[in-house]
Amino acid sequence: MTKKPPDKDYDAAKKKWEDELASPKCRQMHDRFETISFREIKPLYTPEDLGHEVPEDYMDELGFPGQHPYTRGVHPTMYRGRTWTMRQFSGFGTAKDTNKRYKYILEQGGTGLSVAFDMPTIMGYDSDHKRSEGEVGKCGVAVSSLADMETLFDGIPLDKVSTSMTINGPAAILWAFYIAVGEKQGVSSDKLRGTIQNDILKEYIAQKSWIFPPRPSMRLITDIIAYAADNVPQWNTISISGYHIREAGSTAVQELAFTLADGFAYVEAGIEAGLDVDKFAPRLAFFFDAHSDFFEEIAKFRAARRIWAKRMKNKYGAKDPHSWTLRFHTQTAGCSLTAQQPENNITRTAFQALSAVLGGTQSLHTNSMDETLALPTEKAVKIALRTQQIILDETAAASTIDPLAGSYFVEKLTDEMEEAAEEYFRRIDELGGVIPAIEKGFPQREIADAAYRFQRALESGKRVMVGINKYFEPGEKVTIDLLKIDPRVDEECRENLRSLRESRDNKKVKQTLAALKKAAEGTDNLMPKILDAVRAYATLGEIVDTLKSVFGEYIETPIF
């Protein structure tokens, strides 16, 4: 028995959603979705399905999928129309080594690539720099020039894949390498799809891989945003990241609040740079952690969508619904994994991945069981990918949209997450905004305190990690295989650079770097100049040094 919903807005929204669902652009993958026992599963369930009255605030707080405030999901069909992208983050050794792994991932049914760079690349040093010693290719792939990027994507047509690159300080340069590889392959930049992380604010807050001080870094970011809007329209220009904040020890609320606060800071920077909010906001994406507290995580994802939608519409005056939608990538929580009894990590990862799917993620990385010990082996990566495939193809968790909506617990948690985040926004405003708050060490201190509190709770037994402080096995020996990085990597990368510096047109390199320096001293968009230098095979380190000579470097005051 169904009671008539009381609200005209509700009726109209429902009709709109039903029309969208029926439209050809929203084709669903099966004619009929059903449970393992052959019972039909509808795309969406609402209070009406139980014969309940629709609550008064339903339209303000939940709405329909693909509609403001997007609590129930950003697409009208969600996974019935398109499954999340299974995007496994990887990179190690030389560009050649990683190219092989990428081809393996694509063969195994992975649907997107995600580049992990090594520490020197992340910090803007070439493989042959003194500070790179011992670090080349260790926790990601070494990419020092366009030549390395060409090798990395050899045989992978850039118009056929979407690529995410975890790069921040030197994001503009690595992105320019990628655009230039596209040019070499004959793929024009408007066909390129992917994401650069390019979220410098969370570097100062949590991940601590910065190069330049905040203000010139924000200029590079707005230059990227403006360049993308005109030339690389399908590219996600920032992946505003909570992942690193959470991994550094924050609570779920802190992850949510600091990430969204960073997001609003980028929006404000774009508006201040004279850009139309609706021209760039649709290309902002997000990246969250999926930790072990199953329902809290789901509430966090739902609250994130709602907060973003409301603020983008009401505070920043965005009119394009694409500016209101918070699309996000999720990675399961590395910090929840244990070196002890590492096979248990497969189970942890599966629950975390399921929370991301129930929370409506657009793409997902599942960690491998061996990642507290080393970079993952091929076998461990395969199990991690299979975990996602099992969720999609066996659990039916993706067969209906936002399945936990209406749960008293999840809805209340979602509301509480939103309120607690709003409280953090107020505190950040009082400090003068995100950058002044960072300069005062506010988020850094909040996170360090939460991390220490967690550790204390673990030691008192109030929190449990299986295999660490409960069910541990003294004298346990780890028996899984670990990936070893070939020690020749360092040398091979150095050798590649040496021959590159000999064979390229060094006069051209000098000219393009000089032009870049001049532009950096002024206010022109830096992307075209960076691209010129990249095409001339100027290296990452050379371009970074040129910019450092104008922008300076960031130094943090250490606190603990």
Partner 1 sequence: MSRPIRILVAKAGLDGHDRGAKVVAAGLRDAGMEVIYTGLHQTPEQIAEAAVQEDVEVVGISSLAGAHMTLFTRVLELLKEAGAGHIMVVGGGIISEDDIVGLEKRGVAKLFGPGTELPVIVDWIVKAVDAQRAEAAKE
Where does this chain bind partner 1 (CB under 8 A)?
A: 119-120, 122-123, 125, 131-135, 138-139, 203, 207-209, 247-249, 335, 338-340, 372-375, 448, 451-452, 455, 458-459, 465, 467-469, 477-478, 482, 485, 556-560
The token pair at 129 is: 């720099």
Q: Which is nearer to partner 1, 125 or 301 (CB)?
A: 125
**Distance, CA of 525 to CA of 221 (rounded, Å):** 10
Helix, strand, coil abundance in the chain, percent, nearest 5: 55, 10, 40
Q: Which is nearer to partner 1, 396 or 465 (CB)?
A: 465
Neighbours of 397 (CB within 10 A): 14
Q: Which is nearer to partner 1, 184 or 445 (CB)?
A: 445
Closest contact distance (angstroms) between CB of 136 and partner 1 is 9
Closest contact distance (angstroms) between CB of 200 and partner 1 is 13
Closest contact distance (angstroms) between CB of 294 and partner 1 is 22
Closest contact distance (angstroms) between CB of 337 and partner 1 is 8
Residue closest to 266 by CA, chosen among 207, 204, 182, 198: 198
HSE of 43 in the Cβ direction (CA atoms, 13 Å)? Answer: 25
**Distance, CA of 521 to CA of 551 (rounded, Å):** 9
Q: Which is nearer to partner 1, 125 or 551 (CB)?
A: 125
Q: Which run of H or of E encompasses 144?
A: none
Q: Which is nearer to partner 1, 123 or 228 (CB)?
A: 123
First to last CA, the chain: 60
Are the beta carbons of 421 and 303 closer than 8 angstroms? yes
Are the beta carbons of 204 and 555 closer than 8 angstroms? no
Q: Which is nearer to partner 1, 50 or 482 (CB)?
A: 482
Residue appearing with tokens 């393996």: 104
Are the beta carbons of 509 and 538 closer than 8 angstroms? yes
Q: Which is nearer to partner 1, 259 or 399 (CB)?
A: 259
Neighbours of 9 (CB within 10 A): 12
**Distance, CA of 433 to CA of 421 (rounded, Å):** 15
Closest contact distance (angstroms) between CB of 486 and partner 1 is 13
Are the beta carbons of 3 and 55 closer than 8 angstroms? no
Q: Which is nearer to partner 1, 24 or 558 (CB)?
A: 558
Handedness of CA 35, 40, 46, 51 (dihedral sign): negative
Closest contact distance (angstroms) between CB of 537 and partner 1 is 24
Q: Which is nearer to partner 1, 115 or 375 (CB)?
A: 375
Q: Which is nearer to partner 1, 10 or 210 (CB)?
A: 210
Q: Which run of H or of E encompasses 163?
A: strand 162-166
Closest contact distance (angstroms) between CB of 121 and partner 1 is 10
Closest contact distance (angstroms) between CB of 149 and partner 1 is 20
Q: Which is nearer to partner 1, 21 or 205 (CB)?
A: 205
Q: What residues are paired with 115 via a beta bridge?
A: 90, 165
Residue closest to 228 by CA, chosen among 220, 236, 240: 236
Q: What residues are paired with 112 via a beta bridge?
A: 87
Closest contact distance (angstroms) between CB of 379 and partner 1 is 16
Exposure pattern of 508-520 as b/e (b: 16+ CB <10 Å)? Answer: ebeebbeebeebb
**Distance, CA of 306 to CA of 60 (rounded, Å):** 9
Q: Which is nearer to partner 1, 239 or 388 (CB)?
A: 239
Closest contact distance (angstroms) between CB of 135 and partner 1 is 4
The token pair at 49 is: 């399905």
Closest contact distance (angstroms) between CB of 555 and partner 1 is 8
Length of the chain: 560
Residue closest to 339 by CA, chosen among 382, 379, 369: 369
Closest contact distance (angstroms) between CB of 161 and partner 1 is 27
Q: Which is nearer to partner 1, 410 or 497 (CB)?
A: 497
Closest contact distance (angstroms) between CB of 489 and partner 1 is 11
Instruction: Output Rg (C-alpha) for the chain, integer angstroms.
Output: 24
Q: What residues are paired with 118 via a beta bridge?
A: none
Return the biggest CA–CA distance within the chain.
Answer: 79
The token pair at 113 is: 């690539």
